[in-house]
Amino acid sequence: MLSTIPGPEDLFLFHEGSLYHSYRVLGAQVMKQGDVRGVRFAVWAPHALEVRVIGDFNGWDGTEYSMRKISTSGVWSLFVPGIDEGGLYKYEIVTRYGEVIRKADPYAFQSELKPGTASRIAALEGYQWHDDDWQHSKSAKPAYNRPMNIYEVHMGTWKKKPDGEYYTYRELADELVDYVVDMGYTHIELLPLAEHPYDRSWGYQATGYYSVTSRFGTPKDFMYFVDRCHQAGIAVILDWVPGHFVKDAHGLRQFDGEPLYEYNDPRLAEKPEWGTLSFDFSKPEVISFLISNALFWMDMYHIDGLRVDAVASLLYLNFGKPELHWTKNEHGGDENTDAINFIKKLNQTVFAHYPDALMMAEDSTDWPQVTAPVHDGGLGFNYKWNMGWMNDMLRYMETDPYFRSGSHNLLTFSFMYAFSENYVLPLSHDEVVHGKKSLLNKMPGDYWRKFANLRVLYGYMMNHPGKKLLFMGGEFGQFDEWKDLEDLDWEILEYDSHRSMHQYVRDLNRLYLQEKSLWELDHQPEGFAWIDPHDSGQSIVTFMRKSADPDDFLVILCNFTPQTFNTYRIGVPFAGVYQECFNSDLPAYGGSGLINRGKLKTEAFSWHSQPFSLQIVVPPLATIVLRPVQIGRKASSTKKTRGDRVDA
């Protein structure tokens, strides 16, 4: 056998934890050695006595395919001539106890279709991308000052074929992408696509971190999907799971016969809440593996960002563990200092390579400065899911409207910290599974009120500071919770209420896209102002959203009761004429049709600490949005009128 090896500098950086493109060195690399084409295999297995390559090219007999140990810290390598893409393979490892185990390649670019567990030789080069315009546009303006309305998708259950088969990446590239564009979303977030053995793990318990799941096609098919998204102006975010991995025998668990990717101490390694294992963040080679993986999805698949799953379980040693298994760090605390250092290094490295990347933390804790730069003492993410807002709002919305006045703080508390981090407001898959009910079915009341409650929730969310995320099915009011082995209940769009909800979300998304005041200053206090947060007795809140243009603002009112108010007065900052530009109570949306028609003229009557006021109709369980159409410099007439701007 001919052999070729990773270079000494590569090995040094890998064992130091700084080989940030380790996927180019380890794994199965299709290449030439001299004039001979073949595949170079390289794997990290420091505890092994022997490692052999087995596959369909040698009848799964590794007798003549032993690898050579090329570093004292356990990297093994072998060049096999005459083989190419498509072949299946594994590593046959002889442990130091004499046991022979067979493992999939941690760095494999493709995997055998389930229930098979072998790795597949694949070369990722050669796809012709057509997203240059997209890549240039990302650097033109920061994400913070752009609209971000994310549609969260599980590819296996968004839609299935009549025979129950999956849509492929290429089929979804047309059907799903066109749908997302039509609905007015700006981003798609995909539940994890790393190869995983069990459908119902949704991808969160992976065996192949570098292997895009073969359920829906090949690596280049997925490249086509991302390319098509970018050509349509849609960014792609991938859920990424560095917190834990599955225990399946062919995966990372005790990879060379002993704990390797996981901690040696089972109290640290075990994740009893999920039945998985934690990565050992104290090992430099694990850091090289994980940070390289984050970059890999951006390098090879042009992914625009990562939503990092379960950050709380990274930050704290004892998260989700019974007290019997608790441990302490070297300072006597609960923080996982190795994992925290990993998070900071991860974000610094990603932004060094991709300054416009999205790095989003799904973090349920109150850890400070999650979205602050590392050099300012932060964790270095640029976005954080606002789990507090989500929990408070769902608790509030599940309360009968007649009793919501006693829980008014759940509605308003999020504004106390809305600008402490760069937030995404998530209504995600986690809220609609395992007996939690769908969003629609969480809403109290009869059939009409359930839909009206959901409309006002969505209206409040879209006008609240922060970027937005909604899980698939929520846009048409799926009645059942997410059935993770079946597709969405598209057939209910034949019913008026669901079809009207679908139209409502489409129009609400388009309002969001059109109004700079809803996203330009999303993360700055200057982009928001209360008009009245105190009307708990009637469960109404009124506030303003503002853009960088001082004359560009919206007045938003949300009524969380089924009561109608025919003469409700709200304060406004400027005299002039206002107009209702959005109302969730339109008959087209399934509402009762109470609308503020025509021009609404201010009165010189101070209200809500504002110098002027309007008297409006407030429909039941509704969100209404008012826009100034004639104030100050925007007056349509040069003659000074009552509509001229008056500075308070």
Closest CA to 230 of 170, 304, 159, 179: 304
Q: What angle do the packed helices 447-463 and 496-514 form, to 10 degrees?
A: 10
Looking at the DSSP bridge assignments, the partners of residue 410 are: none
- Burial of residue 136 (number of CB atoms within 10 Å: 0-12, 13-18, 19+): exposed
Closest CA to 621 of 391, 400, 415: 400
Looking at the DSSP bridge assignments, the partners of residue 91 are: 53, 103
With beta carbons less than 8 A apart as the criterion, state whether 213 and 170 touch.
no
**Spatial distance between the Cα atoms of 435 and 389, rounded to a whole number of angstroms:** 21
Q: 585 is written with which tokens?
A: 């109570």
**Spatial distance between the Cα atoms of 487 and 199, rounded to a whole number of angstroms:** 13
| φ and ψ of 235, to 5 deg | -80, 155
Side chain identity at residue 254, one-letter code: Q
Looking at the DSSP bridge assignments, the partners of residue 276 are: 271
Cα 281 from chain centroid (whole Å): 23
Sheet holding 68-69, edge to edge: 27-33, 36-44, 75-81, 68-69
**Spatial distance between the Cα atoms of 97 and 95, rounded to a whole number of angstroms:** 5
With beta carbons less than 8 A apart as the criterion, state whether 631 and 574 touch.
yes
**Spatial distance between the Cα atoms of 109 and 130, rounded to a whole number of angstroms:** 22
Q: How many CB atoms lie within 10 A of CB 339?
A: 22
Among residues 152, 256, 362, 520, which one is catalytic? 362
Q: What angle do the packed helices 284-301 and 337-353 form, to 10 degrees?
A: 30
Q: Could you confirm whether 178 is annotated as catalytic?
A: no
Backbone φ/ψ region at 220: left (φ over 0), alpha (ψ -120 to 50), beta: alpha
**Spatial distance between the Cα atoms of 149 and 563, rounded to a whole number of angstroms:** 30
3-class SS of residue 200? helix
Q: Could you confirm whether 520 is annotated as catalytic?
A: no
DSSP 191: P
| φ and ψ of 5, to 5 deg | -130, 155
Among residues 10, 270, 309, 475, which one is catalytic? 309
- Burial of residue 293 (number of CB atoms within 10 Å: 0-12, 13-18, 19+): buried
Enumerate the active-site residues.
309, 362
